[in-house]
Chains A and B, each alone.
Chain A
């Protein structure tokens, strides 16, 4: 792969590497002086405050922030320099929960989850738990990054893993601008390899979905239309098949927040999010059916709250004390970044949410 797009905020010693600084920005300025309503005020208007969980459906586990890529807009601030990696001990605690959870979906994310040294052992064990949908969020380039990862498509197939991969655009220029030089070509090669194993093929049970998130300070378009355009372009240009496209809104945290501020787009972007607020999306927002587990085993309402270090408002704080009933009886922790999940058709790790 070519040169990395940028460095992580942590590596740069940026003040935005600190979650409390991000939260300050999200609560000051236009939200403090009342120019825009806070998220709490907005959901109060439609009697949706406090936000409460529904039935737990998705257990999302972040196995580490290390990544082979440094994408411009990463909400995790992931990169090769990040050393936060889940230990086997924490993985064993997660496995215990996975074996007993009522959730129907297990969702492994990172960083590049494959870079955790115990990733394969964890997948092997977790796949025995009989969870209906077992997702691994793969950035695709990892499959081609090093010989030791070349067999990942076969490994995923063997364990019937549902692969969900990022693809910012069907053109090389837009993809590489966001994710780094050479990422597009490597991603295409990885997708072709997955297709060769049956992943993403029409009528195949080996699920391959793509995640689209915008390359700049604008919201994603209609998910169904984008899926149509992606399918047409990837088929015509490269003969690639995939199942569904998830259109995800960039949330104003970490490197995307840094980008918004540096490019003087922050206020306009927050206006876009607030103007596009959709109460129907609030109803199905992912924190109402998901628990996010961090690399060190702490529990959060979502991956974004994890990055902002906003833990669950529950007595149960850690995977070692996991209790689904107790956890479900909590108020969800919110701030202004939540407008990202309620704009337009809504946004989640599974794409649009508004019915």
Chain B
């Protein structure tokens, strides 16, 4: 059995039961973040999908894939968003290569 149960996503709201003030503040904030603003709710949904992948959060991938479908987002758009996340993630790894190069040059240059 997996540690992750898809049914737990529906219980997300329950976190408020053990800390009402913080839980409520979080969900108010969360709701506000995803409203139409300078960015459209559709654009925000695609950002969330990309971040869901870089965070490797199964609940978030589940939620924002469905959210995208509901908004008419195509699978091509979804995959491009995932690649944006992947590019940043791999870029973040590779840019640390400069740190490695600096160290090599200092110790053994």
A: which residues have CB within 8 A of B? 169-171, 173-174, 214, 216, 218-222, 225-226, 229-230, 268, 271, 275
**Whose C-beta in chain A lies nearest to the C-beta of B36?**
A225
The answer to whether A271 touches B42 (Cβ under 8 A) is no
**Chain A residues, Cβ within 8 Å of B10:** 271, 275
**Chain A residues, Cβ within 8 Å of B74:** 171, 173-174
One of A170, A171, A173, A218 near B66 (C-beta < 8 A)? A218
**Chain A residues, Cβ within 8 Å of B71:** 221-222, 225-226, 229
The answer to whether B72 touches A229 (Cβ under 8 A) is yes
The answer to whether B72 touches A218 (Cβ under 8 A) is no
- Indicate whether B56 reaches chain A with its CB closer than 8 angstroms: no
Chain B 1-38 per-residue mask, 1 if CB under 8 angstroms from chain A, else 0: 00000100010000000000000000000000000000
- Indicate whether B79 reaches chain A with its CB closer than 8 angstroms: no
Docked Cα-Cα span, A174 to B69, in Å, equals 11
Show 16 residue pairs from A and B whose CB-CB distance is below 8 angstroms, ordered by the A residue: A169-B72, A170-B72, A216-B69, A218-B70, A220-B70, A221-B71, A225-B40, A225-B42, A226-B71, A226-B72, A229-B42, A229-B71, A229-B72, A230-B72, A268-B6, A271-B10
The number of A-B residue pairs with CB atoms under 8 Å apart is 31
Docked Cα-Cα span, A111 to B16, in Å, equals 48
**Whose C-beta in chain A lies nearest to the C-beta of B7?**
A271
User: 13 more A-B contacts (CB under 8 A) besides A218-B69, A229-B71?
Assistant: A170-B72, A171-B74, A214-B69, A214-B70, A216-B69, A218-B70, A219-B70, A221-B71, A222-B41, A225-B40, A225-B41, A225-B71, A268-B6
**Chain B residues, Cβ within 8 Å of A229:** 42, 71-72
**Whose C-beta in chain B lies nearest to the C-beta of A268?**
B6
**Chain B residues, Cβ within 8 Å of A220:** 70
